[in-house]
A = this chain, B = another copy of it.
Amino acid sequence: MSRPRDNLSIGALAETAAVNIETIRFYQRKGLMAEPARPPGGIRRYGHAELARVRFIKSAQRLGFSLNEIAELLSLDDGTHCRDARRIAAHKLDDMRGKLADLRRMEAALKRLVARCDATHGTITCPLIASFK
C-alpha cells in the first residue's frame, strides 16, 4: 500500500514538508525523528511516516510547544506506559487549556483594538497602544 511519494530523498522530504533540509537533520540529531537505515554506502529514503512526523512537529510547535515538549508528547505514543502517558497527557491538557484561555483573551483584546483603530481614524493617541497603559 505504499503511495507514490513514499520513496523520498531527504531533500524531497524537506521540500514536501516545507522545511529546510538542515531542519530534518537537526530533528534527527535531537532524537525527534529516527534516521531510516541507509543501505551500506547509500542514501536514506523517507516515506509518509517521516513526512507525518515532520508535520506533527511543526503543528505542535505552532501551538507553542517546545521541541522538548514535543519529544515528551511523542513518547506517549509507545502504548506500553499508559498510566504515565495519561499523567503527561493530563498535564499537557492543563497547559493547553491555559494557552487556550490566553489565546482567547489575546484574540478578544486584539479584536477590540482593531475595531477601535477603525473607529477613531486619526485621533491623537492610537487606542491600540493606549490600551496597554
Contact = CB atoms under 8 A, between A and B. Distances in A.
Interface of A: 52, 55-56, 59-60, 62-64, 73-74, 76-77, 79-83, 85-86, 89-90, 92-93, 96-100, 102-104, 106-107, 109-111, 113-114, 117-118, 120-129, 132-133
A125 B49 CA distance: 14
- Total identical chains: 2
Majority secondary structure, A binding face: helix
B63 A106 contact: yes
Contact of A59 (B62, B123, B132): B132
A117 to B, nearest CB: 4
Contact of A56 (B104, B123, B129): B129
A107 B96 contact: yes
A81 B132 contact: no
A129 B77 contact: yes
Contacts of A117: 82-83, 85-86, 89
